Amino acid sequence: MEFQWLNTFVTAADCGNFRRTAELLFISQPSVTVHIKQLEKELGILLFHREGRKIKLTEEGKRYLLHAKKLLEVYQKGLEDLNTFSQGYTRKLTLGISPLIADTILPYVLKSYTKQYPEVEISVKIIESVEIEQAVLREEVDLGLSCLNSTNQSLICKLLAKDNVILVAPHDGRDSESAPPLDEEEVLTTNYLLTHNHPGYWDLLSRVVKSKYPSVRMMKVSQVHITKRFIIEGLGVSFLPTSTVRRELLEGRLIEVHCESINLPEANTHAIMKYEHSKQIEFLKFISNFRW
């Protein structure tokens, strides 16, 4: 049996037409027919009923389709493993990262990690924090870096870092040393407050701000990088983790507004995993050396 026959069979079963199968596989239609007939001869069963130009799986064909897909999956994984080995990788680590973390410290961490551990093949999946827990449970990723804590008893959750949350506004162009500091109340009541760009602290914080300043106008913006762009363009202000605005503060594009009457939260980063295997422990030990 040839895997090319199996691939032709699975493709034909999915699209229900030999002509379309030939187009998808970049082979001739007679070749599709030959592959199917060879597979039917090998198995001793009829895989398809022909209905004009359309084809329909027989009962035996429908049953064998499940096995054919599994055989192709095993074959493909074998090729991927050989390809990985030929490139010098001996281990693989799949990470599930929230967009916020991916946009801050992650690029520098991964660059340093791959230099120190060139034998590890890294795969990164960008996943919203609320979905990382399930991805770890389903073993789609080996390790999740999330803005949310996990309370699932089947998982291991470790606090990686705590980040101060600050109120930031667009820079007003004044000299930071001689100009008076921006007033918290004035900033919040004369600008839109851009909210819900972080999954961990906004529900409570927005209620606290609203109780203190009932006239504040709020606008939900789901991504931190978009929030920063809006602030720089003068569309509003927001409470953001310090690590996400460090560069903009240093470059003078944003300015911190000191809060006296609002108890500011922390933005935490959590590592979530199903197993504490050596590759997870090694990566967490490495990442813990970095300043967030």
Sole residue written with tokens 């602290």: 201
Secondary structure (3-state) at 203: helix
Domains annotated for the chain, with CATH where assigned, are 3-86 (1.10.10.10), 91-161+268-287 (3.40.190.10), 163-266 (3.40.190.10)
- Is the CB of residue 182 less than 8 Å from the CB of residue 291? no
Cα end-to-end span (Å), the chain: 55
List, for residues 28-78, the tens digit of each pLDDT value: 999 999 999 999 999 999 999 988 778 999 999 999 999 999 998 888 877
Q: pTM value? A: 0.65
Tell me which H or E stretch contains 194.
strand 192-195
DSSP 213-248: -TT-EEEE---HHHHHHHHHTTS-BEEEEHHHHHHH
List, for residues 258-290, the tens digit of each pLDDT value: 998 999 999 999 999 999 998 899 999 999 887
DSSP 82-117: HHHHHTT--EEEEEEE-HHHHTTTHHHHHHHHHHH-
Note the pLDDT of residue 290: 78
Q: Give ∠ CA 16-22-24 in degrees, rounded to 5.
A: 85
Note the pLDDT of residue 151: 86
Note the pLDDT of residue 59: 94
Note the pLDDT of residue 191: 96
List, for residues 115-163, the tens digit of each pLDDT value: 888 888 889 999 999 999 999 999 999 999 999 999 899 999 999 999 9
Q: What percent of the chain is modeled with pLDDT above 90?
A: 73
In which band, very low, low, confident or very high, does the pLDDT at 175 lie, cut at 50, 70 and 90? low
pLDDT of 84 > 80? The answer is: no
Note the pLDDT of residue 172: 72
The token pair that represents 191 in the structure block: 């600008």
pLDDT of 81 > 70? The answer is: no
How far, CA to CA in Å, does 85 sit from each of 78, 111, 120, 276?
11, 21, 10, 24
How far, CA to CA in Å, does 94 sit from each of 117, 124, 145, 252, 258?
14, 6, 11, 37, 40
- Is the CB of residue 150 less than 8 Å from the CB of residue 157? yes
pLDDT of 88 > 80? The answer is: no
Note the pLDDT of residue 86: 61
Tell me which H or E stretch contains 72.
helix 59-86
Average pLDDT score, the chain: 90
- Closest by Cα among 157, 107, 160, 161 to 132: 157
In which band, very low, low, confident or very high, does the pLDDT at 210 lie, cut at 50, 70 and 90? very high
- Is the CB of residue 228 less than 8 Å from the CB of residue 248? yes
Secondary structure (3-state) at 71: helix
- Is the CB of residue 173 less than 8 Å from the CB of residue 252? no
pLDDT of 220 > 80? The answer is: yes
